[in-house]
Amino acid sequence: MESTHDTSHQFSSSTGSTPGSRDLSAAAEKAAKTARAAGEQLSDAASEKLGQAKQMVGDVYEQVNKTVTEKYNQAVDYGRENPGKTTLIAFGIGVGVGLLLIGNLRRSHRPNRRVVAPVVNALSNLAVDLFA
């Protein structure tokens, strides 16, 4: 019973302005400064990593942009050099996609009608004959 009374007296005396409380306060301030310094170091490291990540993303974006632009320019040049082939290719793609879409719509209503496969085969044979 006495030890409980002594402990409560010890806590009440440590909350006052005694030399022990000053040491505790100084230790708390030191711990706070250390925590702030660690937080600043962590923040600096995170900022550095974020900057590196942004740089890497920017580099990859530039590389992809350059490649896409080159391929686009090649396609445009091919279209200018071969307007007849380009027109036939576009027409064939349009007809093929249109037939596929119509075939899918009709397939749900009339499953026995299959027009798409023969037309696509005929178009592919025509393309092989024209471009080979």
pLDDT tens profile 2-30: 444 444 444 444 445 576 677 888 888 88
Residue 110 sits at φ, ψ, to 5 deg, of -130, 95
5 within some domain = no
pLDDT for position 3: 47
> How much is the pTM?
0.43
Domain shared by 50 and 96, yes or no: no
Neighbours of 15 (CB within 10 A): 9
* Cβ pair 92, 126 in contact under 8 A: yes
> What's the total number of domains in the chain?
2
Q: Using alpha carbons, select from 10, 36, 38, 37 the residue that is nearest to residue 24.
A: 10
* CA separation for the pair 57, 108 (Å, rounded): 46
Q: Supply the range of the domain harboring residue 40.
A: 18-81
98 within some domain = yes
Domain shared by 32 and 75, yes or no: yes
Q: Which residues of the chain have pLDDT under 50?
A: 1-15, 112
Spatial CB neighbours of 79, under 8 Å, sequence gap ≥ 6: 86
